Amino acid sequence: MLRRLLPVPVMHPVRLPPSIHLLEHDWLSANSVVCLDDPDSASVIDTGHVVRCRQTCDGVRAALQGRRLLRIVNTHLHSDHCGGNSALQQEHGGPAQCAIVVPAGELQAVNDWDESGLSFVQTGQQAQSFRAASSYADGDVLQLAGMAWQVHAAAGHDNHALMLFQPEARLLISGDALWRYGFGVLFPELDGSGEGFAGQRRTLRRMQELRPAAVIPGHGAAFDDVDAALARAHARLDLFEADPRRHAWHALRVLLKFHLLEQESMVPLSQLRQWFVSTSLVRATVRNHGQGVDAEQAFAECLEALLAGGAAVQRGAFVGDPQADAAESA
Ligand SMILES: [Zn+2]
């Protein structure tokens, strides 16, 4: 009886404007935000990972309710945010009818399809090439879902990332700059290619100034306990900034887990080790933050942590994501 008197934490879904449909995906594939721009046409923000492009295309088609998809906008060009660009564009009339819009800092690298300029080589991740029609940048205003959205720089997770803020609805589309619990790995900090910690601090401050009432993140459900999420993000950033190796090792575990998710099947341990030690961002991270530990040792430590936490499963000489293990054991 006493249990009934205790307050129960209620998870209430955030109500989004009817012109916005959030397609919430799993962690391999970032969310897609379908924006019904007018009665005839629509845009989508981010398209998930290439191995899940069928799922994204089907979800977008259902959300369009007969509208034409005229535009694909990417918050940033990581493999889990732009992997469905090519398939989705093909399905909606190709480049002549469906334009891809990317952050200004990535336009050249996309249109040259420079895979090392675009992070796919460094992270050892999969992607499918596409070309962008145009770009957008901090200070721009984009019309989406029948509303005007401010574009803001969102450095930290990615040097070129952008976020979108709608001032009347006080709605923020944050990409990987803010999740309900945390934010994406601060990649520029790993290889020294930019200001990870300082960039993230600026981005969080910008969000505080904007005072969003609700956030549509790149991963997970929309949320409206924004002050609490920002406080958690600041605390996490403080922790990482005080101990960059801690952030670096977190990043290595994330990269390893992401690779296992990408494989979708159990992989030989030797192959996984080879992928890890030959991936250039892993090598740079270990070199810059390993304090004498080499990539082989880092691999052993990271795999052990994933196995101990249940984020990976080992069967003899094979390792995989628990879902791959379950599928193969079924
Ligand atoms: Zn990302």
Same domain, 141 and 280: no
Report CA(157)–ligand 1 centroid distance (Å).
7
- 42 near 72, Cβ under 8 Å? no
Q: How many angstroms is it from 80 CA to the middle of ligand 1?
A: 7
What's phi and psi for 36, nearest 5 deg?
-85, 100
Sign of CA dihedral 141, 144, 145, 149: negative
Query: In terms of C-beta distances under 8 Å and separation of at least 24 residues, what long-range contacts does 223-230 make, across chains too?
Result: 223/14, 223/180, 224/14, 225/180, 226/172, 229/178, 229/179, 229/180, 229/181, 230/178, 230/204
Q: Report d(CA 275, CA 269) in Å as an integer.
A: 10
How many CB atoms within 10 Å of residue 294?
Answer: 12
Residue 186 has pLDDT above 80, yes or no: yes
Each as own residue / partner, the long-range contacts of residues 231-237 (CB below 8 Å, 24 or more positions apart, any chain) are 232/181, 232/182, 233/178, 233/182, 233/183, 233/204, 234/204, 236/182, 236/183, 237/183, 237/197, 237/200, 237/201, 237/204
Claim to verify: residue 300 and residue 189 sit in the same structural domain = no
pTM: 0.93
Q: Can you read off the two tokens belonging to residue 42?
A: 């629509």
Determine how many CB atoms are found less than 10 A away from the CB of residue 297: 12
Range of the domain at 283: 246-321
Q: Which of 224, 241, 258 is the last residue of a domain?
A: 241
pLDDT band at 42 (very low <50, low <70, confident <90, very high): very high
216 plus 266 within the same structural domain? no
Q: How far apart are CA 187 and CA 190, in angstroms?
A: 5
79 Cα to the center of ligand 1, angstroms: 8
Q: Reply yes or no on whether the pLDDT at 5 is more than 80.
A: no
Q: How far is the CA of 40 from the centre of ligand 1 (A)?
A: 31
In this predicted model, what pLDDT tens digit does every residue of 188-228 receive, in sequence order? 999 998 899 999 999 999 999 999 999 999 999 999 999 99
| Residue 122 in tokens | 């460094």
| Residue ending a domain, choose from 188, 215, 241 | 241
As beta bridge partners, residue 301 has none
pLDDT of residue 125: 85
At 207, which helix (H) or strand (E)? helix 196-210
Measured in Å, residue 159 CA sits from the centre of ligand 1 at: 11
Residues 223 and 177 in one domain: yes
The larger pLDDT score, comparing residue 123 to residue 144, is at: 144
How many Å lie between the centroid of ligand 1 and the Cα of residue 176? 5
- Assess whether 284 and 233 both reside in one domain: no
Indicate whether 155 and 219 sit together in one domain: yes
Strand partners, 34: 21, 44
Gap from CA of 119 to ligand 1 centroid (Å): 10
5 within some domain? no
Is there a domain that residue 123 lies in? yes
Tokens of 211: 């005072």
pLDDT number for residue 320: 95
Whether 277 and 301 map to the same domain: the answer is yes
Could you tell me if 234 and 253 lie in one domain?
no
Domain count, the chain: 2
Q: What is the mean pLDDT of residues 232-251?
A: 97
Residues 141, 37, single domain; the answer is yes
CATH number where 36 lies: 3.60.15.10
Domain match, 29 and 173 both = yes
Closest CA to 20 of 47, 43, 52, 54: 43
Residue 59 maps to a domain = yes
Q: How much distance in Å is there from the Cα of 161 to the middle of ligand 1?
A: 8
